[in-house]
Chains A and B, each alone.
Chain A
Amino acid sequence: MKQLLVFIRKEFLQVFRDRKTLLMLFGLPIAQIVLFGFALSTEIKDSKIVVVDYAKDETSTQIITKIAGSRYFDVQQSLQSTAQLEAAFKKGIIKMAVVFPANFSKDLLHTNHATIQIIADASDPNTATTITNYITNIINTYNVQLANAAGQPLQIVPEVQMLYNPELKGAPNFVPGVMALVLMLVCTMMTSVTIVKEKELGTMEILLVSPFKPIYIIFSKLVPNLIISIVNLFIILILSSVFLDLQVKGSLLLLVFATTLFIVTSLSVGLLLSIGAKTQQAAMTSSLMGMMLPTMLLTGFLFPIENMPWLLQVLANLVPSRWFFIIVKRVMLEGLGFAAVWKEILILVAMCAFLLTISLRSFKIRLQ
């Protein structure tokens, strides 16, 4: 037991004395979150929009004046019909279109209810959400004024339609994505590099020819990386809460548990990679190439998996981060509990057990 503790202490000493490793370990998550954070928090001003006014009555004109008067919008032109909208969107000049139906005022006065159609280009989901929120606010304010003036409840309902990316994938999805990517990279790379480093420097020879069991060598390599990765998790959570205003909606405990599971899975992958690699360079490259690409492409946070060819969809099922991503999304963003993620957790448990067993069994107790 004491041997193990001293070994783990030595691992920490080595990590903290190596500035480059430290920078990679803690700089990577911070850089990613801060980068995304600043990219997201910029205010959107003067978005170019078009108006299609079929009503051309008093109310619609008033609303258009309000919109044009706001600093958020820049009304480019008024189109005659919605048929021209598509072309305007495709050219990429406009971000949003506001459509007033014919008989807008009449509907409002007679039925106390009217709708405005708002169509946003959601290929940039962040902008789309922000500007539709702005315009909904403007309409709601007008609503209240109108109702007060008329002395009866009149309701204008903005009907929002997101073009091109109806699910609004993007913004909050980055945090689970970054978590999956950073943890996967850090765990596999750190583990494979530290083990291969011992081989390269020859210290593995001495460790093997000692009463210290090979299984303990592995264990003392994994524990520091596990602890460092959990610290990383909290750094990511704190940063995303501070910079992105994105808090954990569900159970933190469940999130930490799932993350630990994912970390151990990634550590086993790193262990597996270290067995084949002869130099630190090779270990680094194989973890980067072997893990970064599949994690980026097949996790689902950059490209939706449902839209991929079936072969890639099947392959994506083999990527642990894919399941971890789903768990984080549900627990962190949607606030769902264990009942919503037990299947994914079970899959991760199976993957973890499988990978850990294989890597432990193939760890060489000799040099060859």
Chain B
Amino acid sequence: MITLNNIKKTYNKGTVSAVQNINFSVNKGEIFGLIGPDGAGKTTLFRILTTLLLADEGTATVNGFDVVKDYGKIRDCVGYMPGKFSLYQDLTIEENLNFFATVFGTTIRENYHLIKDIYVQIEPFKNRRAGKLSGGMKQKLALCCALIHKPVVLFLDEPTTGVDVVSRKEFWEMLKRLKAQGITILVSTAYMDEAKLCDRIALIQKGKILSIETPEKIVESFPVKLFAIRGGKAYKLLEDMRAFNGTDSCFAFGDALHVTFKNDENNTVLQYLDSKGHIGVSIETITPTVEDCFIRLLKK
């Protein structure tokens, strides 16, 4: 549904590199996630695919159309939700939705079934101006506007940034339902916990793709054992673990430390922590998350 071949893009006359050698393809009816920190090049890729930017090198297609030659055909059939809230702040919810429905050559009634689940949540405020909505409601409205013309491919650039945890969860459930209707979704996010909700993810950093896999495979491919260490004084524990000569990597992760060792057998670590004066420390083997994999990939 979407393919990218050796896409390269620079800004400021080639002095600032945005993305290099990007190759991947998204299958029909798939939720494909672009996962990476701010400034990794996610938005650049979205803009190239939505025909808003021209790549310096490489080719890309969406729904079989070339992003340069057939830009008009792509614009007819995709839905795009930019990272920044991009609706008319001085129009109401209903006016915004009506406007975009008409611009896309359809009506709210015609495709109401697509947006119903989302729209009912914001419908009580339909006469409120978009500029006065909360972050979550804005995102829901933006999604409604991007969906109203029943796109074949949906591009969502960081749709959940700035949205509360509950709304984020709802948002992803909606994406699942859209997928069930056969819509292909390319979504980007800086939240690693959302990665496992995608069918496949591409980890992207500094304009390069580190890995493309299903979340399960990425997790499975974690090459060593991962341990969680809890207890004691958190900051001193982190410092001492990093100083431990058997430690390969050590990161704070919520209330625990995620640690890998140079050697998976590490009988001496508890003794070591004891000697450093930590009391009640527990250590256990855990399944790595996507974030663990991402951090490990970045280290390489």
Residues of A within 8 A of B (CB): 2-3, 6-7, 10, 13-14, 17-18, 201-203, 205-212, 365-368
Tell me whether B95 and A209 are in contact (CB under 8 A): no
| B45 interface contact, C-beta 8 A | no
Within 8 Å by CB of B104, from A18, A208, A211, A366, lies: A211
| B133 interface contact, C-beta 8 A | no
Tell me whether B105 and A211 are in contact (CB under 8 A): yes
Residue of B nearest to A17 (CB): B90
Proximity string of chain B (66-78) to chain A, C-beta cutoff 8 Å, 1 when within and 0 when not: 0000010001101
Tell me whether B53 and A368 are in contact (CB under 8 A): yes
Tell me whether B89 and A3 are in contact (CB under 8 A): no
| B103 interface contact, C-beta 8 A | yes
Chain-A contact segment, one of B80-88, B185-193, B219-227, B287-295 = B80-88
Q: How far is the CA of A6 from the CA of B99 in the complex (A)?
A: 7
Note all chain A residues with C-beta closer than 8 A to B145. Answer: 206
| B47 interface contact, C-beta 8 A | yes
Tell me whether B91 and A13 are in contact (CB under 8 A): yes
Which interface residue of B51, B88, B89, B105 has the most chain A CB atoms within 10 A? B88
Within 8 Å by CB of A206, from B86, B98, B105, lies: B86
Tell me whether A201 and B86 are in contact (CB under 8 A): yes
Residues of B within 8 A of A (CB): 47, 50-54, 71, 75-76, 78, 80, 82, 84-91, 95, 98-100, 102-105, 145-146
Given A3-B103, A203-B86, A212-B103, 11 extra CB contacts under 8 A:
A7-B103, A13-B91, A201-B86, A202-B82, A203-B87, A205-B47, A206-B100, A210-B104, A211-B76, A211-B104, A367-B47
Tell me whether B103 and A366 are in contact (CB under 8 A): no
Note all chain A residues with C-beta closer than 8 A to B89. Answer: 201
Within 8 Å by CB of B52, from A3, A201, A209, A211, lies: A209
Q: How far apart are A13's CB and chain B's nearest CB, in angstroms?
A: 7
Tell me whether B82 and A205 are in contact (CB under 8 A): yes
Residue of B nearest to A364 (CB): B52
Within 8 Å by CB of A14, from B85, B88, B146, lies: B88
Tell me whether B104 and A203 are in contact (CB under 8 A): no
Note all chain A residues with C-beta closer than 8 A to B98. Answer: 6
Within 8 Å by CB of B103, from A17, A210, A368, lies: A210
Tell me whether A206 and B82 are in contact (CB under 8 A): yes
Chain A interface secondary structure, helix, strand, loop or mixed? helix
Q: How far is the CA of A198 from the CA of B156 in the complex (A)?
A: 19
Within 8 Å by CB of B85, from A3, A7, A202, A208, lies: A202
Which interface residue of A17, A210, A367 has the most chain B CB atoms within 10 A? A210
Within 8 Å by CB of A202, from B84, B100, B102, lies: B84
Please list the 4 inter-chain residue pairs (A to B) with the smallest Cβ-Cβ separation, ordered nearest first: A202-B86, A6-B102, A209-B80, A211-B76
Q: Are A367 and B90 also in contact (CB < 8 A) when A10-B95, A207-B103, A208-B75 are?
A: no
Note all chain B residues with C-beta closer than 8 A to A17. Answer: 90
Q: How far apart are B74's CB and chain A's nearest CB, in angstroms?
A: 8
Q: How far is the CA of A253 from the CA of B103 in the complex (A)?
A: 35
Residue of B nearest to A367 (CB): B52
Which interface residue of B53, B87, B91, B102 has the most chain A CB atoms within 10 A? B102
Q: Are A209 and B50 also in contact (CB < 8 A) when A6-B103, A10-B91 are?
A: yes
Note all chain A residues with C-beta closer than 8 A to B52. Answer: 205, 208-209, 366-367
Q: How far apart are B178's CB and chain A's nearest CB, in angstroms?
A: 18
Note all chain A residues with C-beta closer than 8 A to B71. Answer: 365-366
Note all chain A residues with C-beta closer than 8 A to B95. Answer: 10, 13
Q: Are A206 and B80 also in contact (CB < 8 A) when A367-B53, A368-B53 are?
A: yes
Note all chain B residues with C-beta closer than 8 A to A201. Answer: 86, 88-89
Q: How far apart are A279's CB and chain B's nearest CB, in angstroms?
A: 14
Could you pull out 30 A-B pairs where Cβ atoms are within 8 angstroms? A2-B102, A7-B99, A7-B103, A10-B88, A10-B95, A14-B88, A14-B90, A17-B90, A201-B86, A201-B88, A201-B89, A202-B86, A203-B86, A205-B50, A205-B80, A206-B82, A206-B146, A208-B52, A209-B52, A210-B100, A211-B75, A211-B76, A211-B103, A365-B71, A366-B51, A366-B53, A366-B71, A367-B52, A367-B53, A368-B53
Q: How far apart are A198's CB and chain B's nearest CB, in angstroms?
A: 9
Note all chain B residues with C-beta closer than 8 A to A210. Answer: 75, 100, 103-104
Which interface residue of A3, A18, A201, A368 has the most chain B CB atoms within 10 A? A201
Note all chain B residues with C-beta closer than 8 A to A367. Answer: 47, 52-53
Note all chain B residues with C-beta closer than 8 A to A207. Answer: 103
Note all chain A residues with C-beta closer than 8 A to B76. Answer: 211
Note all chain B residues with C-beta closer than 8 A to A368. Answer: 53-54
Tell me whether B75 and A366 are in contact (CB under 8 A): no
Tell me whether A3 and B102 are in contact (CB under 8 A): yes
Note all chain A residues with C-beta closer than 8 A to B87. Answer: 203, 206
Q: How far is the CA of A206 from the CA of B87 in the complex (A)?
A: 9
Note all chain B residues with C-beta closer than 8 A to A211. Answer: 75-76, 103-105
Q: How far is the CA of A205 from the CA of B84 in the complex (A)?
A: 10
Q: How far apart are B162's CB and chain A's nearest CB, in angstroms?
A: 14
Residue of B nearest to A10 (CB): B99
Within 8 Å by CB of B91, from A3, A14, A209, lies: A14
Q: How far apart are A364's CB and chain B's nearest CB, in angstroms?
A: 10
Q: How far apart are A218's CB and chain B's nearest CB, in angstroms?
A: 14
Note all chain A residues with C-beta closer than 8 A to B104. Answer: 210-212
Tell me whether A18 and B90 are in contact (CB under 8 A): yes
